[in-house]
């Protein structure tokens, strides 16, 4: 048990074998193995297979051709027993959209694979929130979705505008016209708790579920350190100046391709000036209150994010006293004593 139990997308079981990405013969051999599996992505949505026990994200690679071939493929890596796992971006025509009730950041499209009732496209947020596949499969889905999202939007060279081609087992695109190499991007996002005395600062965006408060967050800008981004975002969103910043833990966040960098920041002031264009509200919560948020027992019905989100673990780290500045450091890999139920 560690304080990070239940964190989504953080248990990738694959050996990425990056040294084999340029070796076409080795890639062909891996692809031909009987135990080779593929994660299929169609229109940014994973395509799962229904099984007697539930849903499976790892399909035989033969399904790629059966569903009309791929726009791009990548070798994600090898499972502990050596079976290779590929990701494939299917053509849009492989699925049909039946409806779209998407709102805010929730993907509520209903897609179907014509003629294949055994296959079910499901958005990744629902997969991880509902634990529809094992945690290690959800982590592989995160890699596949982020990488295929990038391929789907980088068919042309951003330098000269000519078509680019897939290279390095799906981990690079190359422009044969100008020679530019393009690499998949990961966008760092800081997500943090400002803490002062026995209190921590949480806020809520209008798009959050009702009565849910969470850690403040924002993109790291070019030329900025993680520490500077943490201080800037807290100052911008809540008007609170911060001093020391400490790293806690990180989480891949494939919506579409971020890395959440969890931190704690030592607040130097308490007065709040909330940026109402970003936040509906922000307020200080005592350590006792944060425990009630996590346990869903807060007297005002307020809640915190579920364990799949790193914000949950930041709040839990604070609630159980795993935060210290100066000589101490947050200890994300340790279990909480008297851990609040999640
Ligand atoms: Zn080019």
Place of tokens 């297979």: 49
- 187: cis peptide before it, omega within 30°? no
CA of 160 to the centre of ligand 1 (A): 4
Write down the pLDDT at residue 191.
Answer: 98
Angle at which helix 310-319 crosses helix 287-294, to 10 degrees, equals 140
Both tokens assigned to 57: 């994200």
CA of 149 to the centre of ligand 1 (A): 20
CA of 173 to the centre of ligand 1 (A): 10
CA pair distance 199, 93, nearest whole angstrom: 52
CA of 86 to the centre of ligand 1 (A): 27
Write down the pLDDT at residue 175.
Answer: 98
CA of 74 to the centre of ligand 1 (A): 21
CA pair distance 246, 251, nearest whole angstrom: 16
CA of 170 to the centre of ligand 1 (A): 18
- What percent helix, strand, coil does the chain show, rounded to 5? 25, 35, 45
CA of 162 to the centre of ligand 1 (A): 6
What are the Cα distances from residue 175, in Å, to 71, 160, 188? 16, 8, 26
Write down the pLDDT at residue 172.
Answer: 98
Contacts with 340 (C-beta within 8 Å, 6 or more apart), sequence order: 291, 294, 295, 316, 319, 320
319: phi then psi, degrees, rounded to nearest 5: -60, -35
pTM for the model stands at: 0.93
Yes or no: say if 34 and 276 are a contact pair by the CB < 8 Å rule.
Answer: no
Write down the pLDDT at residue 329.
Answer: 56
H/E segment holding residue 28: helix 24-32
Write down the pLDDT at residue 305.
Answer: 96
CA of 101 to the centre of ligand 1 (A): 38
* Residue from 33, 143, 27, 15 nearest 78 by CA: 15
CA of 90 to the centre of ligand 1 (A): 24
Both tokens assigned to 266: 């030592």
CA of 176 to the centre of ligand 1 (A): 7
CA of 159 to the centre of ligand 1 (A): 5
CA of 314 to the centre of ligand 1 (A): 43
pLDDT score of 212 more than 70: yes
Contacts with 291 (C-beta within 8 Å, 6 or more apart), sequence order: 319, 340
CA of 167 to the centre of ligand 1 (A): 14
Helix, strand, or coil here: 316?
A: helix
CA pair distance 79, 291, nearest whole angstrom: 38
Q: Could you read off the pLDDT of 120-170 as tens digits, one per residue?
A: 999 999 999 999 999 999 999 999 999 999 999 999 999 999 999 999 999
pLDDT score of 181 more than 60: yes
CA of 185 to the centre of ligand 1 (A): 17
CA of 309 to the centre of ligand 1 (A): 38
């Amino acid at each position: 048990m560690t304080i990070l139990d239940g964190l989504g997308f953080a248990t990738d079981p694959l050996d990425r074998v990056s040294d084999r990405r340029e070796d076409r013969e080795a890639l062909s051999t891996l692809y031909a193995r009987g135990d080779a599996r593929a994660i299929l992505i169609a229109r940014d949505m994973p395509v799962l297979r229904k099984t007697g026990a539930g849903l499976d994200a790892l399909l035989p690679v033969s399904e790629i051709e059966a569903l009309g071939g791929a726009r791009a493929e990548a070798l994600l890596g090898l499972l502990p027993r050596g079976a290779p796992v590929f990701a494939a971006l299917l053509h849009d025509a492989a699925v049909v959209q039946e409806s779209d009730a998407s709102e805010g950041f929730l993907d509520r499209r209903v897609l179907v694979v014509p003629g294949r009732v055994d296959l079910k496209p499901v958005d990744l947020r629902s997969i991880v929130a509902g634990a529809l596949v094992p945690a290690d499969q959800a982590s592989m889905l995160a890699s596949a979705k982020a990488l295929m999202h990038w391929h789907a939007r980088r068919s042309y060279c951003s330098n000269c505008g000519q078509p680019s081609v897939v290279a390095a087992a799906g981990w690079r695109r190359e422009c044969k016209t100008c020679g530019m190499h393009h690499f998949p991007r990961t966008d760092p996002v800081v997500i943090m708790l400002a803490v002062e005395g026995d209190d921590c600062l949480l806020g809520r965006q209008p798009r959050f579920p009702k009565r849910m408060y969470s850690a403040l967050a924002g993109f790291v800008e070019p030329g900025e350190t993680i520490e500077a981004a943490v201080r800037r975002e807290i100052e911008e969103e809540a008007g609170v100046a911060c001093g020391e910043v400490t790293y806690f833990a990180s989480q891949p966040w494939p919506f579409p391709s971020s890395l959440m960098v969890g931190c704690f920041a030592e607040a130097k002031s308490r007065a709040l000036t909330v940026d109402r264009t970003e936040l509906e509200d922000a307020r200080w919560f005592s350590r006792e209150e944060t425990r009630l948020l996590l346990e869903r027992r807060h007297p005002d019905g307020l809640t915190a994010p579920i364990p799949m989100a790193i914000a949950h673990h930041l709040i839990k780290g604070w609630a159980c006293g795993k935060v210290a500045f100066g000589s101490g450091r947050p200890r994300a890999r340790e279990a909480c004593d008297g851990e609040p139920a999640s």
